[in-house]
Amino acid sequence: MMHSYLLSFLLIFHNLLLVNAWDSSELEMFDLVEELGKTFYEFMSIERTASISDIKRAYRKLSLELHPDKNPDDPDASRKFRQLTTVYHTLKDEELRRSYDSVLDNGLPDWRTPVFYYRTLRKMSNTELALLATTFSIIIHFAALWGHTLEKRWMLVSSLKLLLTIDAEIAEQLKEIASPTLWDILPIYLIRVFFNFIRSIPSFISFVIKFIKDLAEEKKRTKEEIKVEWEVARMITKFTVSFKAVQCSNPSYARLPISHYSLQDWTPDEEAIFIRLTNKYPGGFPNRWRKIAEVLGRSVADVTARASAISARMSERMQLNLAVFLYCHQMFHPLWAMLKLQTPQVLDSWRELCELSNWLRWWWCSWRSLKINSVH
């Protein structure tokens, strides 16, 4: 719909932009020709073939007669002196004088030229411009509605012609396309959009309240679930292995001394060196743990035990991140689900309100551009 407005605006005002070929001096000259009622040469009492010196001499003579200071009792003295100044500047400039002579020979630009409409708009008041822009917008809006309707019908009829048999679904869609009525005229349409938006506010507020309540209930419900999932995730990494004491079948083995090995504590620097060594000697490297143990000055059992501890610690961090992700998903997933279930009336009202604001912005910019051009 807004594309139709823009296209119509460009088509209608394209000709008005052509007035850039006419400068302000020529436009003032056209206005003065209509206002004066006689030729510039008759106004200055000179011949059409007068030279520049004759024009200056006549101007000095008339300026002494028509100057407002010389005629304090004449209310039109300022207007007459302004006319004299415009006539003088027109005739002393060769290009403007040729343009004025062309007006004398051919007349002022008529309705077939863009400058005619531009000059008409410049003379309008703010009320007249607002009324013209409103009428113009109503006509464009109604024409755009009919154009949109006829385009839909033409597309569906073209689809029907391409089919050997009439498609019942397309035929039903063709019947559902309603023609624009008086209720679709722009002022009535804007009023309907405004009241539909007002009517949708209570339902939107109730939706927000319901969503907040549901979100609070969801938070209460998911807290316990998250705790349970977190405990389950922690229990997965915890396991115990019980070894049954092995009975020695050979009595000589039972008399051997049993040596208990205790792991030494690791400093943070040793752990950092250990991690760098694991990157230096990756998995599959021959005698990997023995090489690392020789560099660190520890036993192979101590090194492998520390590797298992670090691996378990990293696994716990990954499970913690997973639990946080599950918590965030359960917190924000209902919000997305509720947003997708919003009532179509609320969305339509917001969409129509945006369309209304775009149209008002377009109308205001058009009106301002006309006023600025009329001032200049």
How much is the pTM? 0.36
Q: What's the pLDDT at 259?
A: 45
As a dihedral over the C-alpha atoms of residue 226, residue 232, residue 233, residue 237, rounded to 10 degrees, the angle is 160
Residue that wins the pLDDT comparison between 176 and 301 = 301
- pLDDT per residue as tens digits for the range 122-156: 777 888 888 888 888 888 888 888 888 888 888 87
Distances, alpha carbon 113 to alpha carbons 122, 197, 230, 274, in Å:
15, 44, 81, 89
The CATH topology of domain 23-109 is Helix Hairpins (1.10.287)
**116/110 Cα distance (integer angstroms):** 6
Lowest-confidence pick of 73-82, 111-120, 190-199, 207-216? 111-120
Q: How far apart are CA 200 and CA 339, in angstroms?
A: 16
Supply the mean pLDDT for the chain. 72
Q: Distance between CA atoms of 91 and 85, rounded to whole angstroms? A: 10
Tokens (6 digits) for 145:
């509605």
Domain at 266-336, CATH from 1.10.10.60, 1.10.760.10, 3.90.76.10, 1.10.10.10: 1.10.10.60
Question: What is the rounded CA–CA span in Å between residue 166 and residue 97?
Answer: 71
pLDDT tens for 219-256 read 776 666 655 555 544 444 444 444 444 555 555 544 54
Domains of the chain: which residue ranges?
Answer: 23-109, 116-176, 194-243, 266-336
pLDDT at 83 over 70: yes
Give the pLDDT mean for 74-89: 87
